[in-house]
Amino acid sequence: MTQLHKRFSDQQVAFLLHAYSCRLMGREEVEECLHIGKTRFFALWKRCQASPDSFSVAYDRPTPGRVSPEVEAAIETELLRDKSLIDDPDIPISGYNYSAVRDRLRKQAITISVNTIIDRARKLGCHEPRKKKKTHDREVLTNSIGALIQHDGSTHRWSPFSQEKWTLITSIDDYSRMLLFADFFPAETTWAHIQATQAVIETFGLPLRYYVDSLRVFRFVQGRDSFWRNHVLRTDDVETQWGKMMDLLGVDVVYALSPQAKGKVERPYRWLQDRIVRTCALEGIGQVADARTVLREELQRYNDCQVHSTTKEIPSVRFAKAQATGNTLFRPFSLPEPYTSPKDIFCLREKRTTNAYGRISLSNHDVRIANVPLRQKVDVHLVPDFAKNTMQVRVWWQGTLAHSVDLPLDGFTVHL
């Protein structure tokens, strides 16, 4: 049936409503004449009562605004720039990201929907149908923040204008899906992961457990981390530097046995990689300092602006809500006895025995330990400072800091 304003004039509808007001016709009779329901009848009657002189059943449907030629040109430019990145075999981007195109247009003060961009992409040949992905269980397995922190590193050429690869290390809270830490490092080393863990713990506190892969930084695996098979040492019989730190802090460690098992942290990696590489390529960024600026922008967008597809909440809002209600397993960070400085917690550890001259040897450095008897075992804590190119050596004996000295960083080697 055609719409009401096409079947009756304003005067005809107003006459019938006036007849109802004067009790000349019943409501059901008017509804039957106009072929409308009870809700529509009372809506019209109230409008007629409120303004009988200007009453009308006609309405103007606003036509959608047409995209201006300037905006069309901007969309085409951004889509073709994306196409050039995808066609370049040296750039690790394999598909179009229309949301990223929309965000770049917003920086140009152009507000346009993703559907419009996709429509223009199809016309320009800048569109690929989505591949069907295997379904994956993205259920939230924890009930509190701090119950499980997924921690990982990813090494890539994050910018086509850089000849070096950088390692992005991130930590994500399982419950809120908030990225607690993300930063670039020159390489994926033990010290880099210790620094990343320190940043999370000093900011948020001690979580219940960490979830990591079986990288040699985190775990000794027999058959992989030894040159010959030693039937005495088995997997996990050797404690890594990172593992020693977590054991001292009382944080449990769980190991993932496959990349698929770390899906909750792998998906943000793919999202960050796509966004960061695109921005670095399009803006000509080749320095890690400038890439960190891009990373901070994308981190803020992920944590504070986007609704997560699994939790249906913004990660930072979900995290703050859990904090406010006490739904947290984070514990306050405090130095375990007898230590008095975080440098003795977040450090590299070695053991030495003082020789007959009261000295220990560290990477061709002879260090005199005056306050320790001869031939005594001591704990050596090493804190690198790459900015100053120094290694701070802190020697502990029987729960006391016996000696501290700064040595040149060059030449130091530390076992896992």
Closest CA to 307 of 296, 297, 318: 318
Q: How many CA atoms lie within 13 A of 280 on its CB side?
A: 28
Q: What is the mean pLDDT of residues 109-135?
A: 81
Name the residue with higher pLDDT: 179 or 52: 179
- pLDDT one-digit tens code per residue, 213-229: 877 888 766 665 555 55
* Number of Cβ within a 10 Å radius of residue 117: 21
SS3 38: helix
The pLDDT assigned to 131 comes to: 65
**Which CATH number is correct for 149-324, 3.30.420.10, 3.40.50.300, 1.10.287.70, 2.130.10.10?**
3.30.420.10
Name the residue with higher pLDDT: 116 or 260: 116
Q: What percent of the chain shows pLDDT beyond 70?
A: 87
Name the residue with higher pLDDT: 91 or 20: 20
How would you classify the pairing of strands 209-212 and 149-156? parallel
The pLDDT assigned to 132 comes to: 62
Q: What is the mean pLDDT of the chain?
A: 86
pLDDT surpassing 70 at residue 137:
no
How would you classify the pairing of strands 166-173 and 149-156? antiparallel
Q: Please, what's the b/e burial string for 31-68 (b: 16 or more CB within 10 A of its CB; e: otherwise)?
A: beebeeeeeebeebbeebeeeeeebebeeeeeeeeeee
The pLDDT assigned to 128 comes to: 76
Q: Give residue 123's pLDDT band: very low, low, confident or very high (50, 70, 90).
A: confident
The pLDDT assigned to 416 comes to: 45
Q: What is the mean pLDDT of residues 403-411?
A: 89
Q: 167: part of which helix (H) or strand (E)?
A: strand 166-173
| Angle subtended by helix axes 288-304 and 263-283, to nearest 10 | 130
- pLDDT one-digit tens code per residue, 312-365: 999 999 999 999 999 999 999 999 989 989 999 999 999 999 999 999 998 888
The pLDDT assigned to 64 comes to: 60
Residues facing 155 on adjacent strands: 167
Predicted structure pTM score: 0.73
Could you tell me the CA-to-CA distances from 159 to 183, 199, 217, 280, 294 in Å, in that order? 15, 25, 26, 5, 11
Closest CA to 171 of 191, 154, 190: 154
The pLDDT assigned to 139 comes to: 57
The pLDDT assigned to 304 comes to: 95
Q: Give residue 172's pLDDT band: very low, low, confident or very high (50, 70, 90).
A: very high
Q: What is the mean pLDDT of residues 156-180?
A: 90
Q: Could you state, in order of their start, the residue ranges of all structural domains in the chain?
A: 4-50, 69-124, 149-324, 342-408
Give CA–CA dist 307/321, Å, rounded: 15
The two tokens of residue 113 are 């929907």
Task: Calculate ∠ Cα 47-48-52, nearest 5°.
Answer: 125
- pLDDT one-digit tens code per residue, 214-273: 778 887 666 655 555 555 555 555 788 999 999 999 999 998 865 555 555 567 777 788
